[in-house]
Amino acid sequence: MEDLSLSTLIWLRMVRFVQNSNQMSNTHLHRFDLTIAQFEMLSHIRAYEPVTQSDLAKGLTVSGGGVSRMVSRLERDGLISREQDWKTKFISLTDTGRRQLDKAYPAQLEFQSALFDEALDEDEKKLLHALMKKLYNHSVQRRGEEEKP
């Protein structure tokens, strides 16, 4: 195997961690009849409702087509509703969606927090948080620069 830079190894480890965490979350959220993608979408809708489909795609960094398919499914399952206001459709949680998310949300936060609490001490968590925040902010800045015409 070729020699990989430390930066590449870090990126690969982060990708593997996120994939593993998402797989574990899908198993955990199954008891709430949700996938991690649905959970994230419902959480985003709750935080910003009413939200447009395009804002939802930007906030979740998902393609417009991917959001459209998931929105249709969540609407069919009675978890969200869409309301047309002239040319714009606004998405909100239904009462059923809110109840389902209210049950799943604390359990999911506890589940994910345990991954860090069991492996890292407080100083390590603070350092990891600071480093991830720095990387995230840099990636947002780079993305903004790349999207400029």
CATH number of 7-118: 1.10.10.10
Q: What is the dihedral of CA 19, 24, 27, 29, to 10 degrees?
A: -90
Pairing mode, if any, of strands 51-52 and 88-93?
Answer: antiparallel
Burial (Cβ within 10 Å: 0-12, 13-18, ≥19) of residue 77: middle
pTM of the predicted protein model: 0.83
What's the pLDDT at 1? Answer: 56
- Whole-number Å distance between alpha carbons of 41 and 119: 28
pLDDT, mean of each 10-residue run, the chain (149 residues): 88 95 95 93 94 87 81 93 87 95 96 96 97 93 81
Residue with tokens 């999207």: 147
What's the pLDDT at 62? Answer: 76
What's the pLDDT at 143? Answer: 82
